[in-house]
Amino acid sequence: MKKFVVAICVAIQACLIPVVTEAAQPTHLSPENLWPSDFRAFVSRLVEKHQLSLLGRKSVARAQSQANVLDQPIANPELELSGTNRDTDVQPNGEKPEAERSREIGISLTTDFGIKQSIQRQLGLKEVAIAEQISIGRRLDVAGQVISSLAAFYATDEEAKLASRQEHVMGQFIKQAHALRNSGETNATDLTLAKLALADTARTVLEAKGRFDQATLDLQALCQCNLSSLPKLPKKLPAFRKPDFDKVIEALPSIRASEIAVERAALEIKLAKAERIPDPTFSINGGTEGKARFISLGLSVPLPVLRSGSAEVVAAESAFTEAEQEKLAESFVRKRQAISSFQNYDLARRSYELWEAQNFGSIEEQSKLLNRLWRAGEIGATEYLVKIKETIEATKNGARLKGQAWAALSQWLIHSNQLQNFLGEN
């Protein structure tokens, strides 16, 4: 009988020992293969109506309006009208002279020959491009947040259901403990232990329900929708080969925005240098003076004596250097995030796959097995409670690992720029 009990315990422990299996070979899955169409449609719909997405579109529209302002000539032509009436003194012979009248009309225009206007036009386009990249980055962050929230919702839901099943199993155990106690087959200690275990299980149920309620609120705040019609997460977690992280970050919206900011800073240097060249003003005037008619041409050029513009060039060059340093810093941070998110996801995926390979039996099956041993007197109440708790915790760990893996996947997809294909941002 002792050998039988030992064999049973070994079999139960084997369920709790990780089974080492060959790791799944990394694969490359396109968004269409990884994400079901209903899942993609759900996430895309939430991204479209999220406040950050709306803010991004407004920012792009504002940048476009500013670009239109910059794409205008630097000055309007000026129209000048003047006229004079001048009386002369009375002649010695007493005759009244005719009044001298002059009329003049002129038009002038200050121009840069389109040089500065062209640079300003390019600056406006750079601002639009930066706003677009920032908007895309915000949309990708929202998409990652939606996927993480969905993962948390399903993981905490499963944990709450497992806690309820645990409570049911413990309730059945107490009923049996009562019955055996009344019949004198067990002592009071077993019943006391069962009651304590049920109280602890009730606390676990409340905690699991609290986590599920919080995940529900977070998801409800994102989607403002009926949670009964949520799409399911894909069944398979994809594996990825270790990428070239320098290439991974090249197309990230934040990196592209920093690169465009450097290009904008270079244009500002060009504009500052162009501003040092004075803009000439051309004018043409015509009119009459007495009985005579005249036409005159004019040219005026400001003298860059008191303000040469050299300080503006130095300031623009400093801004360019700063933009380059910000780009390097952004690249460093994004590369570190990409490496970290890849490692976190790879570890989370492998941990979940290892848990799956253990092939745990259900809580109810383990409970029946342990219950038979307990009723037969082969194990005590303490051992029963320890074993059933281990089984339940192992099952809960699966739900937690799955949720953590999906949350890590969403971060990896963001930091590897793979959600752009998912949302059709390319």
Q: What are the per-10-residue average pLDDT scores of the chain (426 residues)? A: 37 36 41 69 86 91 92 87 73 63 90 90 95 91 88 88 80 70 63 73 86 90 80 83 89 93 96 91 89 89 88 94 95 94 93 82 70 72 74 81 89 83 58
Range(s) of the domain holding residue 166: 43-80+126-299+329-423
Cβ-contact 218, 286 below 8 angstroms: no
Total number of domains constituting the chain: 1
95 belongs to a structural domain:
no
411 belongs to a structural domain:
yes
Query: What type of residue sits at position 35?
Result: W
157 belongs to a structural domain:
yes
For position 36, what pLDDT does the model report?
75
What phi and psi values does residue 368 have, to the nearest 5 degrees?
-65, -45
97 belongs to a structural domain:
no
For position 337, what pLDDT does the model report?
93
CATH code of the domain containing 401: 1.20.1600.10
For position 238, what pLDDT does the model report?
83
Residues 199-231: b if buried by 16+ CB within 10 A, e if exposed:
eebeebbeebeebbeebbeebeebbeeeeeebe
Measured torsion, CA atoms of residues 405, 408, 409, 412, in degrees rounded to the nearest 10: -160
For position 26, what pLDDT does the model report?
40
Residues contacting 215, CB < 8 A, separation 6+: 149, 152, 153, 155, 156, 157
99 belongs to a structural domain:
no
Count of alpha carbons within 13 Å of 301, Cβ hemisphere only?
8
For position 94, what pLDDT does the model report?
58
Segments of 211-302 assigned E as strands: 281-289, 292-300
238 belongs to a structural domain:
yes
Residue whose structure tokens are 């700063």: 322
14 belongs to a structural domain:
no
- Which pTM value belongs to this model? 0.75
For position 16, what pLDDT does the model report?
35
86 belongs to a structural domain:
no
Q: Please, what is the angle between helix 188-223 and helix 115-182, to 10°?
A: 160
